[in-house]
Amino acid sequence: MIRRLLVANRGEIACRIFRTCRDLGISTVAVFSDADAAAAHVEQADTAVWLPGNTPAETYLRADLLIEAARRTDADAIHPGYGFLSENAEFAQAVIDAGLTWVGPPPAAIETMGSKIRSKKLMDDAGVPVLTELEPAAVTDDQLPVLVKASAGGGGRGMRVARSLAELPDTVAAASSEAASAFGDPTVFCEPYLERGRHIEVQILADEHGTTWALGERECSIQRRHQKIIEETPSPMVDPEMRERLCGAAVAAAEAVGYVGAGTVEFLATEAGRFYFLEMNTRLQVEHPVTECVTGLDLVAWQLRIALGEPLPQDGPPPFDGHSIEARLYAEDPAHDWQPTAGHLHRFEFPSPAACFDRPQRYGLRVDAGYRSGDTVSTHYDAMLAKVITWAPNRGEAIARLAGALGEAHLHGVTTNRDLLVRLLHHEEFRAGDFDTSFFGRHGLETLASPLATPEVQRLCAAAAALSDAAVNRTKVADLAGLPSAWRNVPAVPQRKEYAVGATTIAIEYQWTRGGIQLEGFDRLRVVDFGPALVTLEVDGLRTTFTVATYPDRVCVDCSAGAVTLERINRFPDPAEQHAAGTLLAPMPGTVTALHAADGDAVSNGDPLITLEAMKMHHTISASDDGIAEIKVVVGQQVDAGAILAIVAERTDES
């Protein structure tokens, strides 16, 4: 038996594994970096071990520190979660050599499948369909477009599309650099890029006694930057005949490498029903909850049982029930090239879920989150905040429940992709199941990434914020508490509040009258009730209640038509906070990894100037105008959000 399990990971997946351990009576050990000292997974573990430092290289990627932590806490097993060292064969072997139980597949299987180049050759030999591997230097015009991929790792990192031979060298270099940063291996290769492909994967479980289960397919085609954001099972495009072929190929892939444990075989499929092997993830997947919902299995529990040598039941996997869909909620701004965001989570609440890290007893909502209200989102790790999962009798109900749950969530603090997810779930192409990996490329973000709250709703939210502020101010003035609301000893003058919503400024004016408070400039609007936290407004006889939360740096207003974050505009701004035209600011905290221009270089609008690394991704800062570059940072420098990175000065006659 396993008495004490160390999870060599953080955040949501560590919390998920701890939940199963509690059910099985297994004591738990967490590890944590400086940045994670107050994280949820640290509090939920029975024991926690500090790993000094912040970056993954200092902490969660240090195999020696993780094994030492297991020794110090008398743990007898290690679960790697996903990401970090979960697909590192050397770490798996080191755990085994230390006399600990490794909750994962054999190191040899990890090593074989860890190289996409080697694994594709092995799959071809095993009769699993594969796409042709192309050497980057040998790609020809008639083979374009191609997908440049990192040989090691996954998750969309080190993966880019090249559509011309001219751009291929730079694309290969960028993918190689990102792969080296993410996985420590710069090796990349190319394969044909299918513009309208579907990303379909099969969940498998295999024991050490020769039994392998294929637990159906998951549809993962809605992606940004080659990273999944919506996953569901079953796939709306897969019929029973194709499902049988997919599951057969997945079992053949697993058996070809002597696989044991939980894993996922990923395929790229066409609408014609053909599919090709992409890779095998030799670990638990982020999207495993949808499979748990429709099968009733606890995949983490089965990982633990299989690690102890327990066989899978001979009567085969359980029957599937209903439809499950998962949305990944990220701290990012889709409208600005999916830019990750970091900072304080003032409020992070969902409608009462039926389960957390567990299958609901019956159809309902499940939320797997590694963050809570009051937590800080760090730039050192992945930007995913939570997985929101619904399970329903059919796909339509699962989609409706998920859109509703996301829309009702209170997400105050960092910018998230929530509004985009809701718009996507309501998109008729998605609802029809007629989509592919190019969904965002074809539809663009102009509408999909726009706020759910219309300009008129934003204005009403600003009015609610102003009324909330008025209610707070009135309660602070104790001497006026007993006076009539319209009493004044000077002529009434409207009060003015200004708020910013993105690049838009909204001005609200109100004044106290004999009949109560009145908003200026709003037709057919009546203030029904208002207080510090709740404001009810009526427009043309239709009432809406607004929930208002005020924080030092913002006001967050939620209503049934959307959520709006308002920034107060200071009537007397500090001149020191003003920046010259052409100033480029860091959009998020990060590390400068590359400079593409030097002081004095002439640059044009859109030219790349600086590359920042944050939340495990590279982000390019480009010139916003033509001019002369003044670079204010150096490679390796850590910068805060809002730091000046460069100034593109207007060209003079001399320059």
Task: Give the residue numbers annotated as catalytic, written as ranges.
Answer: 283
Tokens representing residue 427 in the block: 């998109």
DSSP of 495-534, one letter per residue? EEEEEEETTEEEEEEEEEETTEEEETT-TTEEEEEE-SSE
Helix (H) or strand (E) holding 390, with range, is strand 384-392
Q: Within a 13 Å sphere around the CA of 134, how many CA atoms are in the beta-carbon half?
A: 22
> What is d(CA 225, CA 440) in angstroms, rounded to the nearest whole number?
10
Contact present, 525 and 546 (Cβ < 8 Å): no
Contact 14/368 with Cβ under 8 angstroms? no
Residue 549 near residue 533 (C-beta atoms within 8 A): yes
Residue of 125, 268, 272 whose CA lies nearest to 192: 268
CA atoms within 13 A on the CB side of 2: 35
**Chain CA centroid to CA 65, Å:** 27
* Closest to 49 measured CA to CA, from 31, 63, 36: 31
* Residue 13, amino acid: I
Strands 4-7 and 27-32: parallel
> Tokens 């003003």 label which residue?
578
CB 595 within 8 A of CB 620: no
Closest CA to 37 of 331, 367, 378, 412: 378
